[in-house]
Chains A and B, each alone.
Chain A
């Protein structure tokens, strides 16, 4: 469908850039092959990594072919391990060695580096290198890892519980006991991989003139990579420049520090040369961070009117062998605990959320983090409760969604204005539910099984340092800073700490700036992803960049605007209050007296003596923004057909009504939603990292791990509401993760709806054909 029209008012007589679906400024390079990705850089030396072929064992001798350049733990000397820190939630500070000296803890763990003039030669050396490992019994499943006497991966966490959050509201027990019905769901979310189309890649080059290393890598947070690697190598940050060039998707996977990157910088610094590593797809699937591996048991206590009065949950999150940096492995279980009640009004809440170490690839954030699972959990619970009360799924949500704002949740989260009920009603109307029920009935009579599934959810976005501080993180991200300059030629440069990699932020920030200072977006360059050029910032993740970096941009742009008006007032001998900025010029309202922004910019540098009261030359301003956060919301509706003989699910249609506040660029916003939903559909139906009992990983190619193709994604119909919140100075809410958060629940609820005649309950994701068939077989529908 075409981008929906967004009606907007224009301010004054000027053009509004915000709200328009302008083409992206990023695209010309990317469609012509002129994008610059890390793997495009050549190096003197190429690195391939020897990885553990087993899940657990004592590491013995490593023997490379004669003359091979081998780097093992013994070579690294004083290089420190990665030790992410949390000060709360009974966190145990597990350490990840850059290269292990004595034990391996997951299949795919880096054991050694082999270096050669070409990547092929380095790969040959890896093949020819022998490693002795005395295998020990692995712990693969988190339930096995917390069983008594399971043995420990790390001495600091003898029961393998690395983080544990517990919450219980004061009146919980009484509320629980007084309920009319208790409804339970046992949810299993299997393990997934974010699967950016570009895997990880790093290129470290030493500069003999300055003694500095430039490290180009596929990262979402270049500044933090600089800090982390400099800390680990005990080097001045000033000697390390990190560049995130074009980055081929991240989805959270490229937030985390990976030992391979530390080794590349160490090599470049020690050997004063350049070293490159480009991850292959197998490495990405076995060692490039996983996510979503959780067991959740949830139980809701409802009153006689099907109103949820108390909620109880137990979350067991498999964090893999180590804790990821910088978020720590608390990212999944603690987010599950904090946000489990979602968009529903429930005053009494109890939760235990544990992160458990196992002999599997480490978990890291993946688009939505715990929320696809939380939403899946709650939305399954709501559908089960609806059935128990004899209610329509829409009606039970109607009775439970929050509807007055600000709303403070049982865990103390403050929800700003949203449209939880309104978006649901909008989606219900769009799908014409009564007509669907008729069609569903007719289809069933012909032996075809159609289903419709709903998912209503909140998406916490744009949260600043207070939200991260609540987790007790030693590294507390949150704010963003923007340096905005108008150069003497009148071109604008915004240097930002965010690090977009597909989100179109160069375009949307330019739209925000353009409206403030009255020039075209095409004259505005947004500079990011280079620690030598951009101010310190946290990068792009957690649906934060447009809210936080966009807010900082607006603050800086307002300062530039104010100065332009002051300067223009002096140049045009008019009151500042009479100056309007539009179409690249400052003019005195109602007159033909005007001066171009370019001329003002030039004067601001070259004729500073003319301006009274100005203390700084030029047009250079800084904006910093650190908001508390804002909640986007949406209702997703999936319409599916299930082939009960094969278990195959066909997506018929997907309808979304969402509210992400003010939309800066509708084309880009819709793209974020559509792409997120496609990942959510993949997560719901297809994508699964599979380990066998020995901790060997079976899904090592994209023929085994299945991101959806154009075939699996149905037409997606989008409806928007724009609630302008005071929680965000641009009035924009985040939109990056909502698609992925909401879609799995809608899809699996639709499958369950389709299978209602068989009385089966699918409470797992992905709901693969095998699982659907198994459920049908267990329900007596043999085939």
Chain B
């Protein structure tokens, strides 16, 4: 169980050559081996979605994927959303609409919403609520998250 394997994870466009146990989850590898602690772990059962990252264009629960499974794929985390000091429209919309309070679930929601809107920019309101119900937030009551994602969707479409 403790034998380690060398793998390379490409996170936010940068290669991380790391050595991990086969059982190590992608979430743990991103946080501990790559040092990117913006991805949070909320349940490790694939339910809360706090650990959501984008792998090859799709939002995934990084607690349900082994690090080794993500080798060779393009991984995006919350740290890769902004371009320098320019926030991603989703980040800006979360701030503008008070879509976060404690901020623990926020990276997961941002990556979920960005991942979905990049694939489905014209997603309907009902489908959007369906998608957002994949993740749990205990602070906001979701109304402002829905508002923020709709605002960002409009902004992303206009670009």
Find the residue from A247, A502, A739 having the highest chain B CB count within 10 A: A502
Find the residue from B23, B44, B47 having the highest chain A CB count within 10 A: B47
A36 cross-chain contacts in B, Cβ below 8 A: 37
CA distance A355 to B2 in the complex (A): 48
Nearest CB in chain A: distance from B110 CB, A: 7
Q: Which residues of B, 31-77, contact A by the 8 Å Cβ criterion?
A: 31-32, 36-45, 47-48, 50, 77
CA distance A703 to B87 in the complex (A): 34
CA distance A542 to B82 in the complex (A): 37
- Is A365's CB within 8 Å of the partner chain B? no
CA distance A624 to B39 in the complex (A): 39
Q: B131-154 toward A: CB 8 Å interface, digit per residue (1/0)?
A: 011111111111111100000000
**B104-A32 in contact (CB<8A):** no
- Is A707's CB within 8 Å of the partner chain B? yes
**A248-B102 in contact (CB<8A):** yes
Q: Which residues of A, 691-746, contact B by the 8 Å Cβ criterion?
A: 701-703, 707, 709-711, 713, 715-716, 739
Look across to chain A and name the residue whose beta carbon is closest to the beta carbon of B137. A197
Partner of A703, one of B45, B94, B100, B140: B45
A1 cross-chain contacts in B, Cβ below 8 A: 143
**B138-A249 in contact (CB<8A):** yes
The SS class assigned to the B binding surface is loop
- Is B15's CB within 8 Å of the partner chain A? no
- Is B14's CB within 8 Å of the partner chain A? no
**A197-B143 in contact (CB<8A):** no
Partner of B87, one of A32, A37, A674: A32
Partner of B103, one of A35, A199, A676, A678: A35
**A674-B140 in contact (CB<8A):** yes
CA distance A32 to B141 in the complex (A): 21
A502 cross-chain contacts in B, Cβ below 8 A: 101-103, 139
- Is B17's CB within 8 Å of the partner chain A? no
The total of chain B residues at the interface (CB under 8 A) is: 57
Nearest CB in chain B: distance from A666 CB, A: 10
**B36-A23 in contact (CB<8A):** no
- Is A124's CB within 8 Å of the partner chain B? yes
Nearest CB in chain A: distance from B85 CB, A: 10
B141 cross-chain contacts in A, Cβ below 8 A: 671, 674-679, 713, 716, 739
Find the residue from A248, A501, A503, A715 having the highest chain B CB count within 10 A: A248
Partner of B79, one of A33, A280, A739: A33
- Is A60's CB within 8 Å of the partner chain B? no
B145 cross-chain contacts in A, Cβ below 8 A: 710
CA distance A364 to B138 in the complex (A): 18
- Is A310's CB within 8 Å of the partner chain B? no
CA distance A504 to B42 in the complex (A): 22
Q: A143-187 toward B: CB 8 Å interface, digit per residue (1/0)?
A: 000000000000000000000000000000000000000000000
Nearest CB in chain A: distance from B114 CB, A: 12
- Is A28's CB within 8 Å of the partner chain B? yes
**B43-A701 in contact (CB<8A):** yes
Q: A659-691 toward B: CB 8 Å interface, digit per residue (1/0)?
A: 000000001101100111111000000000000
**B105-A197 in contact (CB<8A):** yes
B135 cross-chain contacts in A, Cβ below 8 A: 709
**B144-A197 in contact (CB<8A):** no
A679 cross-chain contacts in B, Cβ below 8 A: 138, 141
**B142-A710 in contact (CB<8A):** yes
The SS class assigned to the A binding surface is loop
**B37-A715 in contact (CB<8A):** no
A701 cross-chain contacts in B, Cβ below 8 A: 43, 45, 47
A132 cross-chain contacts in B, Cβ below 8 A: none
- Is B118's CB within 8 Å of the partner chain A? no
A208 cross-chain contacts in B, Cβ below 8 A: none
Find the residue from B87, B105, B139 having the highest chain A CB count within 10 A: B139
Q: Provided the pairs A23-B95, A37-B37, A248-B40 are in contact, do residues A120 and B142 lie with their beta carbons within 8 angstroms?
A: no
Partner of B102, one of A33, A195, A501: A501
Nearest CB in chain A: distance from B90 CB, A: 8
Partner of A32, one of B24, B45, B91, B138: B91
Q: Which residues of A, 25-77, contact B by the 8 Å Cβ criterion?
A: 26-37, 39-40, 42
**A702-B143 in contact (CB<8A):** no
Q: B96-123 toward A: CB 8 Å interface, digit per residue (1/0)?
A: 1010111111110010000000000000
Q: Provided the pairs A32-B91, A197-B48 are in contact, do residues A249 and B142 lie with their beta carbons within 8 angstroms?
A: no
**A195-B47 in contact (CB<8A):** no
**B139-A249 in contact (CB<8A):** yes
CA distance A210 to B120 in the complex (A): 56
CA distance A120 to B145 in the complex (A): 34
CA distance A711 to B127 in the complex (A): 11
- Is A24's CB within 8 Å of the partner chain B? yes
**A26-B103 in contact (CB<8A):** yes
Look across to chain B and name the residue whose beta carbon is closest to the beta carbon of A32. B82
CA distance A739 to B101 in the complex (A): 15
**B104-A24 in contact (CB<8A):** no
Nearest CB in chain B: distance from A641 CB, A: 17
Partner of A716, one of B23, B106, B143: B143
Q: Provided the pairs A23-B95, A667-B98, A674-B141 are in contact, do residues A707 and B43 lie with their beta carbons within 8 angstroms?
A: no
Q: Provided the pairs A31-B110, A32-B82, A248-B40 are in contact, do residues A671 and B101 lie with their beta carbons within 8 angstroms?
A: yes
**A33-B45 in contact (CB<8A):** no
- Is A277's CB within 8 Å of the partner chain B? no
**A198-B87 in contact (CB<8A):** no
Q: Provided the pairs A32-B87, A249-B102 are in contact, do residues A197 and B138 lie with their beta carbons within 8 angstroms?
A: yes
**A27-B102 in contact (CB<8A):** no
**A33-B133 in contact (CB<8A):** no
A195 cross-chain contacts in B, Cβ below 8 A: 138
**B138-A671 in contact (CB<8A):** no
Nearest CB in chain B: distance from A696 CB, A: 19
B37 cross-chain contacts in A, Cβ below 8 A: 33, 36-37, 39-40
Q: A244-260 toward B: CB 8 Å interface, digit per residue (1/0)?
A: 00111101000000000
CA distance A677 to B142 in the complex (A): 11
**A711-B103 in contact (CB<8A):** no
- Is A281's CB within 8 Å of the partner chain B? yes
**B95-A707 in contact (CB<8A):** no
CA distance A702 to B47 in the complex (A): 6
- Is B129's CB within 8 Å of the partner chain A? yes
- Is B81's CB within 8 Å of the partner chain A? yes
A27 cross-chain contacts in B, Cβ below 8 A: 94-95, 100, 103
Nearest CB in chain B: distance from A633 CB, A: 20
- Is B3's CB within 8 Å of the partner chain A? no
Nearest CB in chain B: distance from A672 CB, A: 8
**A197-B102 in contact (CB<8A):** yes
**A248-B104 in contact (CB<8A):** yes
- Is A196's CB within 8 Å of the partner chain B? yes
Look across to chain A and name the residue whose beta carbon is closest to the beta carbon of B37. A40
- Is A650's CB within 8 Å of the partner chain B? no
CA distance A39 to B27 in the complex (A): 13
CA distance A246 to B102 in the complex (A): 8
Q: Provided the pairs A27-B100, A504-B101 are in contact, do residues A197 and B142 lie with their beta carbons within 8 angstroms?
A: no
B79 cross-chain contacts in A, Cβ below 8 A: 32-33
Interface residues in chain A, defined as those with a beta carbon under 8 Å from any beta carbon in chain B: 1, 23-24, 26-37, 39-40, 42, 120-121, 124, 195-199, 246-249, 251, 278, 280-281, 501-504, 667-668, 670-671, 674-679, 701-703, 707, 709-711, 713, 715-716, 739
15 A-B residue pairs with Cβ-Cβ distance under 8 Å, sorted by A, are: A1-B143, A23-B95, A26-B103, A27-B94, A30-B106, A31-B100, A33-B38, A33-B79, A120-B21, A121-B2, A196-B104, A280-B44, A701-B47, A710-B145, A711-B130
Q: A31-B100, A248-B40, A281-B44 are in contact. List 6 more A-B contacts (CB 8 A).
A: A33-B36, A196-B138, A502-B139, A675-B139, A676-B141, A709-B136
